[in-house]
Amino acid sequence: MTFLLKRARILDPSQKLDMVGDILLKDGKIAEIGEDLFHRMAEAHEVLDCAGLTAAPGLVDMHVHLRDPGLTYKEDLFSACRAAAAGGVTSLLAMPNTRPPMDEPDMVRELLERADANVYTCACVTKGMKGESLTDFAALKAAGAIALSDDGVPVGSARLLLEALEKAPGLGLTICVHCEDLDLAKGGLMHKGAVSEKLGVPGIPRAAEDCGTARELAAAASIGAPIHICHVSTRGSAELIRDYKRRGLPVTAETCPHYLLLTHEALGGRDADFRMNPPLRTEDDRRALIEALKDGVVDAVSTDHAPHSPKEKADFLAAPNGSIGMETSLCAALTALEGELTLMEILEKMSTAPARILGIPGGTLAAGAPADVVLFDPQGHWTVDPEKLHGKSRNTPFKGMTLRGRVLATFCRGRKVFDDR
């Protein structure tokens, strides 16, 4: 199918392009962008009038728990891709804490064979995510993994982490780390502070994350290896990353929309949909993360999309950590960052930057690039109704909230994968 998007406001952070005009999507690629592509109208199977709408590179979500294989009652490859499309996400990086954990080349191959071209996967850093011995990085890379992570937990020991950091860059693999001191976090169910005290619920101190971040950064810095810090939630971690970046070290970092829009106050109603790891923090942390996005300390916004069934989430204390996020990511970010970052800057954090960090196509509307495009109304609004979301699970922390912006259509490699116009 060939699509002509007419009269859109075209925003492409990769080229600093901000214009009103037309985009032709043909043969799965961005064929042409121009002020008026009237002369190519005859080629299009469908012409979309995009007046008042914004067209941008499809989002690249570099932190997604697909739950496939093994936990497909929560989500599977296809339901996750539906949620992604509804949120304007056109490329995603799957985390390997599946059942069993994705630590064998055959598992990587099997997932990628079933998936669309824009599904990428991490493989485990350690066998079974047990933190005892490293996986076979070269074989996992050959099978198609583009990054490594034991996300869900930190890499078992600093020694193994250092070994992994020594090996991975030579193979072109990005190491993505979940920063947490498990001993400090032990037993904690939410951020340790005024709200956890009021509820009488054991807390996770900021130090649990900050000590983890410090270890990962120190290990990477000791050998000058690149490292990517996942889901930053505290002021302390942002400041550590700022310090290492100032020293010129190749560190990148992400945060998630829920840390930018919500705080631990949201847990006052004892609803487990607001429990994730790291937990929602304080207003001071939220402000620090916005500042860190502004000054480039945090490079990317990912979702940490972590589906769980309603049954699992029913009990506030017993529920597993995690919240879904792909379908709400753009609009939650637009809501949280209104007046803080420009639309171009927000799109850069959600498409161009993660594509660059991972070294994958996407995050650009340059001619010849994959036709991965999100079409949205930045002035639109919608109220999040969990029952109307497109994935399998319902555990959104934005339920009932009215978010700014509305995704109207998503194109992935030139196919229209979502249309809500």
Task: Find the part of the chain contacting Zn ion (CB under 5 A) among 138-146, 172-180, 267-275, 337-345.
Answer: 172-180
- Which residues ranging from 178 to 207 are in contact with Zn ion (CB under 5 A)? 178
Neighbours of 309 (CB within 10 A): 17
Task: Find the part of the chain contacting Zn ion (CB under 5 A) among 39-47, 100-108, 144-152, 361-369.
Answer: 144-152
Q: For 25-41, b where at least 16 C-beta lie within 10 A, e where not — what string?
A: bbebbbbbbeeebeebe
Question: Smaller CB distance to Zn ion: residue 92 or 373?
Answer: 92
Is beta strand 59-64 parallel, antiparallel or unpaired with respect to 190-191? unpaired
x-marked contacts with Zn ion along 146-165 as a string, rule CB under 5 A: -----x--------------
Question: Smaller CB distance to Zn ion: residue 22 or 151?
Answer: 151
Task: Find the part of the chain contacting Zn ion (CB under 5 A) among 115-123, 164-172, 174-182, 328-336.
Answer: 174-182
Question: Smaller CB distance to Zn ion: residue 83 or 229?
Answer: 229
Count the residues of the shown chain that bind Zn ion, applying the rule CB under 5 A.
Answer: 2
Residue nearest to Zn ion as judged by C-beta position = 178
Could you say whether residue 32 binds Zn ion (CB under 5 A)?
no
361 and 117 Cβ atoms separated by less than 8 Å: no
Nearest approach, Cβ of 321 to Zn ion (angstroms)? Answer: 9
Nearest approach, Cβ of 125 to Zn ion (angstroms)? Answer: 13
Nearest approach, Cβ of 264 to Zn ion (angstroms)? Answer: 18
Nearest approach, Cβ of 128 to Zn ion (angstroms)? Answer: 17
Nearest approach, Cβ of 178 to Zn ion (angstroms)? Answer: 4
Question: Smaller CB distance to Zn ion: residue 151 or 181?
Answer: 151
Rounded CA separation 374/342 (Å): 17
Positions marked active-site? 304
Question: Smaller CB distance to Zn ion: residue 260 or 373?
Answer: 260
> Contact positions toward Zn ion, by CB under 5 A?
151, 178
